Amino acid sequence: MRYLLECDVAENEEVAPDQYRMRLHAPEIARTAVAGQFCMMQVAEGLYPFLRRPMCFERITRDHVSILYKVEGEGTSLLSKMRPGASLGVQGPLGKGFLIDCKFERHIIVAGGIGVATFPALAEALVRKCDATPEIILAARSKHLILCADEFRAMGCKVHIATDDGSAGEKLYASQMLAKLKPGANSRVYVCGPMIMMKTTSEVAMAAGADCLVSLEAQMACGDGACLGCVVESKSEQDGEKMVRVCLDGPVFDSSIIDWEAHNMAYDR
Ligand SMILES: Cc1cc2nc3c(=O)[nH]c(=O)nc-3n(C[C@H](O)[C@H](O)[C@H](O)COP(=O)(O)OP(=O)(O)OC[C@H]3O[C@@H](n4cnc5c(N)ncnc54)[C@H](O)[C@@H]3O)c2cc1C
Ligand code: FES
């Protein structure tokens, strides 16, 4: 079930430079949303900016969902200025979330930068449903871009920090940190971040025989499967079609079906 609702902003706090957490009162969406799904958020009244912006659910509670977001351009800048009590149109929950399979002995979450935004809800689901505390790799360019470490520790997760400049944790890329943790065939690895980071991290996971799920991003217009604006190439053909829609078939995919070579990494943030 998906909804298009006017939701009240309960909180909207800056948690790091240009990165915010917004909590929305959205009981209907919270009731059906699962970790890895997302919503499309209206960022202003009127027709401009025209398109809603996609944001995944950071946390899902009984009456609220929260999103963790980085100010990238006009839409997210407008979001960051909304005050508690304001209301905005939210469409969701959308897309396919993370599969939860308790048979894996190790669950390893690998987050690159703001890609962490989808993972607190997943870690909570793994703790609740599998009684498993995932290992977490938080990777970012620099110390001030590492988010949610305390939240994961409060859930009992072991957190490994990797920064490009060595300002916190170890001076490693996410993929190198994953290699250090030695995933195996009994592991499931969950990855979200810049495309190049997801490609290299998935390669490490799959080479080790681990199962690997990735949460992809793409520019989205409708968020609902109609416009084909968000397609990426897959390796497998379904009904004569190799393209998959990130909004409807994903955003979470089995990494092995994504044709990473076909993606133009130069386009990434
Ligand atoms: C399924 C999904 C879930 C997402 N979840 C989150 C989240 O939880 N937190 C978060 O901070 N961001 C998330 N994003 C990215 C977020 O939607 C974009 O950063 C946002 O739409 C940018 O809007 P803007 O108006 O501020 O910037 P714009 O002015 O539209 O664009 C500014 C810059 O951001 C790039 N950009 C715009 N949209 C996207 C996009 N969808 N993916 C990648 N780059 C983009 C543009 O190319 C441009 O360089 C998600 C994207 C998708 C597809
Ligand atoms: S955003 Fe329209 S099909 Fe995915």
Ligand 2: centre distance to CA 129 (Å): 31
Ligand 1: centre distance to CA 221 (Å): 11
Q: What is the pTM of this model?
A: 0.95
84-105 per-position pLDDT tens digit: 999 999 999 999 999 999 999 9
Q: Which of 22, 38, 50, 53 to mutate to test the pocket of ligand 1 (most atoms within 8 A of CB)?
A: 53
DSSP 79: H
> How far, in whole angstroms, is CA 252 from its chain's centroid?
9
Lowest mean pLDDT among 22-26, 73-77, 118-122, 241-245: 241-245
For 20-40, b where at least 16 C-beta lie within 10 A, e where not — what string? bbbbbebebbbeebbbbbbbb
Ligand 1: centre distance to CA 268 (Å): 11
pLDDT of 253 above 90:
yes
Nearest CA to ligand 1 atom 20: 53
**How deeply is 218 buried, as exposed, middle or buried, from its count of CB atoms within 10 A (0-12, 13-18, 19+)?**
middle
Cβ(104)–Cβ(41) below 8 Å = no
Cβ(155)–Cβ(140) below 8 Å = no
**How deeply is 221 buried, as exposed, middle or buried, from its count of CB atoms within 10 A (0-12, 13-18, 19+)?**
middle
Nearest ligand to the CA of 96 is 1
Cβ(160)–Cβ(189) below 8 Å = no
Lowest mean pLDDT among 27-41, 148-162, 231-245, 249-263: 231-245
Residues sharing a CB contact under 8 Å with residue 268, sequence separation 6 or more, in sequence order: 194, 195, 196
Quick one: which atom of ligand 1 is closest to the CA of 77?
26
136-187 per-position pLDDT tens digit: 999 999 999 999 999 999 999 999 999 999 999 999 999 999 999 999 999 9
Ligand 1: centre distance to CA 117 (Å): 12
pLDDT of 269 above 80:
no
Angle made by CA atoms 199, 196, 114, in degrees to the nearest 5 = 105
Ligand 2: centre distance to CA 64 (Å): 25
Cβ(235)–Cβ(256) below 8 Å = yes
Residue range 231-248: mean pLDDT, rounded:
88
Nearest CA to ligand 1 atom 19: 72
pLDDT of 109 above 60:
yes
Pair type for strands 87-94 and 38-41: antiparallel
